Structure 1
Amino acid sequence: MFDWLKMLLLPVENPTVTNSLVAIMLAIATGIFFGRLKLGKITFGVSAVMFTGLLLGHFGYRIQPGILDFIRDFGLILFVYGIGLQVGPSFFSSFKNDGLKFNILAVSTVLFGGVVTLILFKFTGLKIENLVGIMSGSVTNTPGLGAAKNTIEEIKNSFPNKTFDDPTIGYAITYPLGVFGIIGTIIFSKILLKIDPEEEMKKFRKAKLNSELPLVHKKMRVTNPAFFGKTLHQILKEFGGGIVISRLKHSGSIAVKSPTLDHELRDRDVLMIVGIEKDLDEFISQIGRPSTDLFIESDSDLHKKNIFVTKSSVLHKNLSELDLFNTYDLKVTRVFRAGKEILPRPSLELFYGDKLRVIGSQEAIDEVEKIIGNSEKKLLEPDFLSLFAGLLLGVILGSIPIVIPSLPVPIKLGFAAGPLIVALLISRYGGISFIHSYINNGAIYFMKDFGICLFFAAVGIHAGDGFYENFVKYNGWNWLLFGSAITFIPLIAMVIVGRFILKINYLQLAGIMSGSYTDPAALSFSTNYLDSDIPIQSYAQVYPLVTIFRIFVASLLILIFS
């Protein structure tokens, strides 16, 4: 009676499209369930899909080859593109601060791992594709594995008679080692270095006291005669233009207005100013004194509102081009982009999804809303044209052959690096034509997790076919030993160099460790174990460049030594 259900849910040797889809859904659903279970402070999250896929593959579940390739590659593309959009803005801006130092340390760790892999290749007699799989698993780097498999396919197309082992086997054997290895290193380095997370947090806050400070507003009264009669343009020019004067009230009056740059200051004028606190304090000390005037905060004549940029007609225009003040008597006091506050300089270019805080009359705000858009509903709706056009550009970039003399085939960025680089550039420059970088956070998290789940399910089920036999055949215990060298030697070197030579805060170093091995499970553990969100920041700063280098190292090792 239930034969149809058995045929649908139980493994078959020659799966149909439906059987293939059921296998993928089973792997993802069971993986997500087990990934939410806690082992102490450790949760595997979506990476558990890899292990459930292995089990299902071991017990006979299969996916049609064409469907397998599509699910694996499309999942990888979605994952890396989502990562690029999410961390792109902070990735580029971080190079102005500690980002350069962090990325040098992380990339050096990647290259050191490649050197260890090469040494093992010279002395163990293993095929390079097996060692690249071992390396990718030992550092929990999925895009590197994807790049290795793409490179092998390219070589097979040029040399049909050449045979390769599947790097997925080594990846599957050593992946758990990579996860637990990073977590173990974080635990033992904290103990051996006698790290106090609270003390590290104090040091971090002290170090960041003068960088990445938020914008604040303050009230002041003009009392210095040297500035009476000077225009706001003249005064702001003297101070470098890092301040916005949002409101002005004359002494003895209750009328509040948003002043133009040609407005001349009078004795005892009250100003509302916006900027970084230390700049505001310096400005106030030279021009007057702090004020406690309450009328300047009155909203009887002036209103403030947040307006979202959603109309294509204003995209990539700067604030001086829009000239909202002279046209509509409306002043922009702050701009919010990718979770950061930006001072609204006249040269600031507007991106899709930017949030402008404006001040002016209600009539002016209503008029500007019609020009800028302010459609929160539109921001919630996914722009599939922009999304898939961006993905297409990533695939095209990843497919461009780069000819390098002495290599057997041209090297390609592949489906891992191509979409990642395109997403980083789009997020940096706000978009290309109709392709924009804004996707709401919920959609980005869905795209990332959905993509990596598809990839893990396909790779796990494929690797699970004969996994035990391969473990015995290739002496998996030896592979775990080789993987341990790739996991721990570069990681220990990173801790020593990062802590004692570069003097990096341990909370940040934990994020760099997780980011260098592109391991979200280790990141999740470190934030819980250290009771801090600081590791997330350094993880995001190094992740994109590390991913690109992991891809190149894996591809080059296959190309040069296969």
Structure 2
Amino acid sequence: MFDWLHTLLLPAETPTVAQSMITIMLAIGSGVFFGRLKMGKISFGVSAVMFTGLLLGHLGYRINYEILDFIRDFGLILFVYGIGLQVGPSFFSSFKNEGLKFNLLAVSTVLFGGVIAVILHKTTGLSIENMVGIMSGSVTNTPGLGAAKNTLAELSVKFPDKTFADPTIGYAITYPLGVFGIIFTIILSKTFLKVRPDEEMRMFRKSKINREEPLIHKKMRVNNSEYIGKTINKIQKEIGIDIIISRLKHSGSESVFSPTLDTIIQDRDVLMIVGTEANADQFIQKLGRPSTDLFIESDSELQVKNLFVTQTSAVHKKLSELDLYNTYDLKVTRVFRAGKEIIPRPSLELFYGDKIRIIGSREAISEAEKIIGNQEKKLIEPDFLSLFAGLLLGIIVGSFPLAFPGLPIPIKLGFAAGPLIVALLISRYGGISFIHSYINNGATYFMKDFGICLFFAAVGIHAGEHFYENFIEYNGWLWMLYGSAITFIPLIVMVIVGRFFMKINFLQLVGMMSGSYTDPAALSFSTNYLDNDVPIQSYAQVYPLVTIFRIFTASLLILIFG
């Protein structure tokens, strides 16, 4: 009576599409469940899907070969595209501060690991395909494995008589080593360096003074005769302090208005200014003193409202082009983008999903909404046209052949680097035509985690098919020894150079260690182990460039030595 259920749920050597779907759901569902369990402060998160996939593959579960490649590659594309959109804004802005130093150390670590892999390939005689698999697993780099498999597929077409090893085997054997190796190195480095997280946090906060400060508003009264009778524009040029004057009230009057750059400052004027705390205090000190005037905040004629940029007529327009002040007597006091507050300069270009804070009359704000959009519901609903157009562009970029002298086939960015680079550029420049960078946080996390779950499930089940036999046949313990060299040596050198020569804060260094090995499990552990979120910031700063270099390293090693 229930034979159909047994057929659907039990392993099959040649599964149907329905049986394949059941296998994938079993791998992902059980993996997510076990990934939430904690061993001390360690949890694997979605990385556990890889291990449950290995177990199911070992037990005989299979995925139909006609859909296996699609599920693996589509999952990888979703994952890297989501990562690119998520970290793009902070990735580019970080280069203005310590990002260049961080990425230099992280990329050097990647290249050092590649050098060790080449040395092991030459000294052990192990095929480069297997060595690249060992390298990708020992640094927990999924996109690198994807790039290696894509390159091998291209080589198989070019050289049909040549047989290539499957790098997934080495990846599966050394992946657990990579996860635990980074965590073990974090614990050991904290112990040997005698790091105190509270002291490191204090030093980190001290180093961040006057850097990426939030915007605030303060009230002041003008009493410096040097600036009385001058326009706001002239005063700002003379002082050179980056602030916005959002409201102004003349002494003895209860009328409050939003001034233009041509407004003349009078004696005892009360101003509402917006800027960083340091800039606001400096501006107040130059022009007068702090004020406790309440009328400037309570004027019933002026309203303050946040508007979301959702209308195409406002997207990619500069504030000077919209000219909200002259058109509607409105003043933009702040722009919120990707979790950051931005001073609204006339040259600032608005992106889809930006939130702008404006001040003016109720009627004027209503008119401005028609241009800006302010359709918050529209931001909650996924824009599939923009999303899939971006994914399509990423696949096209990843498939573009780049010919290099001496290589047997043109190198391609592949399904890992292509979508990642496109997502980074889209998030940096706000979009390309109708393709925009805004996806709400929930959708981004879903796309990223769903994609990596699909990839891990496909890779794990396929690798688990002959995992035990391969471990015995290829002397898995010896492969793990090779992998440990690629895991630990670059990490130890990174800690020494980063801590003693580059003087990097340990909390940031831990994030860089996790980011250089693209390991979310190690990142999750470090935030719990050190009890703060600082590692997440440096992880995001190095992750994109590290991923691109790991993809290129894996592909080039196979092309050069394969």
TM bucket, shorter chain: over 0.9
Specify the alignment match of 2:162 in structure 1.
Answer: 162
Amino acid of the structure 2 residue aligned with 1:11: P
CA distance in 2, matches of 1:268, 1:475: 83
CA shift digits 1:102-121 (9 cap, x unpaired): 00000000000000000000
CA distance in 2, matches of 1:360, 1:470: 71
Amino acid of the structure 2 residue aligned with 1:478: L
Specify the alignment match of 1:520 in structure 2.
Answer: 520
Query: Aligned-residue CA RMSD in angstroms?
Result: 0.7
**2:140 is paired with a residue of what secondary structure?**
coil
CA distance in 2, matches of 1:394, 1:195: 42
Specify the alignment match of 2:106 in structure 1.
Answer: 106
**1:221 is paired with a residue of what secondary structure?**
strand
CA distance in 1, matches of 2:533, 2:301: 42
**2:257 is paired with a residue of what secondary structure?**
coil
Specify the alignment match of 2:91 in structure 1.
Answer: 91
Q: Given that residues 79 and 448 in structure 2 are in contact (C-alpha distance below 8 angstroms), is that contact kept between their aligned partners in structure 1?
A: yes
CA distance in 2, matches of 1:266, 1:165: 80
**1:248 is paired with a residue of what secondary structure?**
strand
**1:289 is paired with a residue of what secondary structure?**
strand
CA distance in 2, matches of 1:197, 1:325: 49
Q: Does 1:150 align with 2:123?
A: no
Identity, in percent, stands at: 78
Q: CA deviation at 1:293?
A: 1.0
Q: Does 1:298 align with 2:301?
A: no
Q: Is 224-233 or 413-422 further displaced after alignment?
A: 224-233
- Structure 2, unaligned runs of 5 or more: none
Q: Does 1:21 align with 2:21?
A: yes
Specify the alignment match of 2:535 in structure 1.
Answer: 535
CA distance in 2, matches of 1:239, 1:408: 62
Specify the alignment match of 1:75 in structure 2.
Answer: 75
Specify the alignment match of 1:38 in structure 2.
Answer: 38
Specify the alignment match of 1:486 in structure 2.
Answer: 486
Specify the alignment match of 1:60 in structure 2.
Answer: 60
Q: Given that residues 255 and 299 in structure 2 are in contact (C-alpha distance below 8 angstroms), is that contact kept between their aligned partners in structure 1?
A: no
Q: CA deviation at 1:254?
A: 1.3
**2:247 is paired with a residue of what secondary structure?**
strand
Alignment of 1:101-500 (within 5 A): 101-240=101-240, 242-500=242-500
CA distance in 1, matches of 2:491, 2:227: 58
Q: Is 91-100 or 231-240 further displaced after alignment?
A: 231-240
Q: CA deviation at 1:292?
A: 1.2
Amino acid of the structure 1 residue aligned with 2:132: V
Count of residue pairs the alignment pairs up = 562
CA shift digits 1:258-290 (9 cap, x unpaired): 111111111000000011122222211111111
CA distance in 2, matches of 1:286, 1:534: 36
TM-score (normalised: structure 2): 0.99
Q: Which runs of 4+ in 1 moved over 6 A?
A: none
CA shift digits 1:371-415 (9 cap, x unpaired): 100011000000000000000000000000000000011000000
**1:227 is paired with a residue of what secondary structure?**
coil
Q: CA deviation at 1:240?
A: 3.1
Q: CA deviation at 1:239?
A: 3.0
Q: CA deviation at 1:299?
A: 3.8
**2:221 is paired with a residue of what secondary structure?**
strand
Q: CA deviation at 1:335?
A: 0.3
**2:313 is paired with a residue of what secondary structure?**
helix
Amino acid of the structure 1 residue aligned with 2:358: V
- Structure 1, unaligned runs of 5 or more: none
Amino acid of the structure 1 residue aligned with 2:395: V
CA distance in 1, matches of 2:199, 2:126: 46
Q: CA deviation at 1:82?
A: 0.1
Q: Is 279-288 or 540-549 further displaced after alignment?
A: 279-288
Q: CA deviation at 1:241?
A: 5.9
CA distance in 2, matches of 1:206, 1:228: 37
CA distance in 2, matches of 1:426, 1:94: 17
CA distance in 1, matches of 2:423, 2:40: 36
CA distance in 1, matches of 2:319, 2:157: 52
TM-score (normalised: structure 1): 0.99
Amino acid of the structure 1 residue aligned with 2:182: I
